[in-house]
Structures are given as C-alpha cells and as structure tokens.
Amino acid sequence: MNYRHAFHAGNFADVFKHAILARILDYLMRKDAPLRYLDTHAGVGRYDLAGDEASRTGEWRDGVARVMKAERPPQIAALLAPWLKTLGPCDEEGKPESYTGSPALAQAMLRKQDRLTLCELHPVDIERLRAAMGRDHRMKTLAIDGYMALNAFVPPVERRGLVLVDPPFEATDEFERLAKAFASAYAKWPTGVYALWHPVKDGRIVDDFYRSLANACGGKLLRLELAVAAPAPEGRLVANGLAIINPPFVLAEEARALLPWLGKVLAHGPGAGVRIEEGAP
C-alpha cells in the first residue's frame, strides 16, 4: 500500500485519526506542565482540498464534509469541538478553506509552553511542511527518517507528551518495522503516550501487530478501529486503526460514545463498523 496524504486529505481515515488525536491532546493539556508532540511522518502539514491531489480523488466529500453536514448531538459536538475548531469555517459543501493535517492540528491546539518536533524525509514535502507551518518558536521541522526520529527524540526533556507515528505503509514489512521501532522507543520512554496509525486490510496481520505491541508495553493498550465498508486484503482502503499506548484514562469511554456515531455518518457499504478493545489481545 502507498498512502500519500495529499491524495486522501480529509477522508474518513483523517477524520478518525484527527478526532482521536485532538481528544488525546485535549486531555494532556489539562495539566499545566509542558508537553512534547512528536510527529514522525508529518507530511506537508496542511492540505488544499481544491488542489490537484485532493481534487483527483475528492475523498474529503465522504469524510470531513459528511461530519460537517451531519447533525451532531451535544455529546458528540463536545467531543469533536477541539478538532473542528482547528478546521475553521467550511463552505456549503462542508469543505474547509484548507484541511489541517496532524502537524497543523497540534500547532493550533498546543500552548506556549509546549513544543513540537515534526519529521518528514520526502525532500519536497519537508519544504511544503515548513512553508505551511510558518515561523513558530515552539517548533522544529526536521528532514529525517521517521523511525530514526522515533529512536532519537525520546524521551523528551518535558517528560510528558504524545508521539504520532503515521507511516505511508509503502513497505511490505511496515507492520513489523513499526512494532519494532515502537518497542525500542517504549523501552526508553515507557510513560509517553503513543498513537500508531495503521490500515486494516488483513485482520490476521493486524492481530499479530497488536500482540507484538502488547508484549512490548505490558498490555497498556487501546485498540481503536473504524471501517466504512468491509475491508479486503487486495481492495482499496476502507478501514483503519489507531493503537494507543498509555491511553488517557477517559479515552476508551469517549471512543465508545464518538466512534459509533462517526461510523454511522461515514459508512458507505456493508461491513462498516468500529472496534474498541482495551488491554492485551
């Protein structure tokens, strides 16, 4: 699989990932102590939904646009508020002026005492990332391999924070690489919060991945998945997940309220649904 963010900006996977990411950051900021946000595969930071890549696919119409046009009950509106605030106003189609990727989302949410480390190896994307994020004394943008960054930048001096690992899954052994890199980072920083994004196509591979993670972290694990149709190993991406290690204690409860609603709004085929599991498989 080759998952270039620009072609899929604002789609169902982005909605799922960024809504959960915002919930984690919102929780971490309940304490005054500073935190570090590390994004190992940052992409370009902000996406023009009217641009060439996003226009070719139009996936935002079945993602962020559906959420923006849906009636949101009060509990759902409250849970989505931190993420939706980063998007700004949308037009009548439900399209924001630009779509905030994870770096821009974190930049918008974090406080003056917090710090961001954004890593991107692609030579064109790193320049686009720097241009999109602008000058910010809290932030460093680095042209570095994401897995190398994961090993190099933990533990942070703040001792609190969130690591997002969101690789493009271009390599056939990406699940194994991700599990191994996480285990190494966790051994150095076992108190950090880690969010590992992954596609869901072959359930056996994903199950093996979670067993590896559980072995590394002692089962301090939350498995969240959202499918908009039934996944197939050779089919297009219709299901994805986030493995959250050291999840905030409120996150599972919030996910049980939020994900079924998102699943219903974003579904477009048989087999749609969500999965929420705590602890070791």
Identity of the amino acid at 195 = A
> CA-CA distance, 181 to 251, in Å (whole number)?
24
CA–chain centroid gap for 254, Å, is 16
- Inter-residue contact 132 to 46 (CB < 8 Å): yes
**Among the options 62, 114, 166, 207, which is catalytic?**
166
Sorted by sequence, the CB contacts under 8 Å of residue 88 that are 6+ apart come out as 96, 97
> Catalytic: 166?
yes
Closest listed residue to residue 67, CA positions, set 84, 53, 50, 79: 84
| Alpha-carbon gap, residue 226 to 228, rounded angstroms | 7
Count of C-beta atoms within a 10 Å radius of residue 275: 16
Which residues participate in catalysis according to the annotation?
166
